[in-house]
Amino acid sequence: MASPHHKQPTAFLNHGGGPLPILDDPGHASLSKSIRQFAQSLSVAPVAVVLVTAHWLEKNGPGVTSAANPKLLFDYYGFPSQAYTLTYNAPGDPALAARVAGLLRGAGENAKAAFVSHALTLICTAPGFDRTHQTDRAWDHGTFVPMMIGFPDAEIPIVQLSLLASQDPSQHLAMGRALAPLRDEGVLILGSGMSYHNMRAFKGAGVADLNAAASAKFDSWLSQTCTEVSPRCFHDVLLCVIHRGDCTGNCSRTSRPAHKMGQCSGCTRVSPTQCCRAFVATIGRGRRSWRRRRNSNI
């Protein structure tokens, strides 16, 4: 186990299509391999994992799982029967859940005080964090799929963390800043989702090659942007990515940014998973995750 003083990295993991990666789907072989390689690359095992899943959005403040032995939530449909009998018996961590909730509530209270005194701009506030709540919600596939692949022994405690239903990028960036101290306590912070999530575009005859090319283009641009941008500009660039999905310069805003987060014409719709990616990148600049997580077209 890691020392509380061993600093853990952060990473964004592509969990693929539903349970397919753990059902030995050939199309997910490279994705599963990349997750295993990431887990094996950790120099010291984490004492616990905080996993931010794109499949859980909360309206009234962030949600944190605090059960000692969480169940699995099979939040998908249309898959073989074995996809609904999966087990992953890793423990929860009620103490860590309380620590996560405390950090977020503290950030919320500090932001309120700072806003009242005009010490911070609106972009730095964390409204709603004081309403962070602990719950016995089960782990969804955004959590158990990558953990089953990367950490099959199920020995590392996990706390699952929601996104905010507002999908407001500034709030998620503030969440990342609030939780960054956990890295110095031996906690591995993961985001789980997909950067390219235009699921509608993957359906229909004769579009597979076109969409694969669009996905590769977007992933290349996104990775380069988030690994090579200067620290001074990084925050602004992430906001631009989330609001506009700007990979070609030809992006148009949607009428419902809270729902779609932005529309990039000819490329991809930016989903809630983009918040995960920005969240994780903010905690540790995300350099490791951008280079290791590929296969965003799956």
Q: What is the pLDDT of residues 205-219, one digit of tens each?
A: 555 666 677 778 877
The more confident residue out of 115 and 31 is 31
Residues in contact with 268: Cβ distance below 8 Å, sequence separation at least 6, in sequence order: 195, 196, 197, 198, 201, 214, 215, 218, 245, 247
Return the SS3 of 277: helix
> Would the pTM count as exceeding 0.85?
no
Report, as an integer, the average pLDDT of 106-130.
Answer: 54
Question: pLDDT by residue (tens digit) across 185-241?
Answer: 999 999 998 876 665 655 555 556 666 777 788 778 777 776 777 766 766 766 666
- Percentage, residues of the chain above pLDDT 90: 41
> To which H or E segment does residue 234 belong?
helix 231-244
Question: pLDDT by residue (tens digit) across 60-110?
Answer: 889 999 999 999 999 999 899 999 999 999 999 999 999 999 999 888 766
Question: pLDDT by residue (tens digit) across 138-184?
Answer: 999 999 999 999 999 999 999 999 998 887 777 888 888 899 999 99
- Name the region of 61 (left: φ>0; alpha: ψ -120 to 50; beta: rest): left
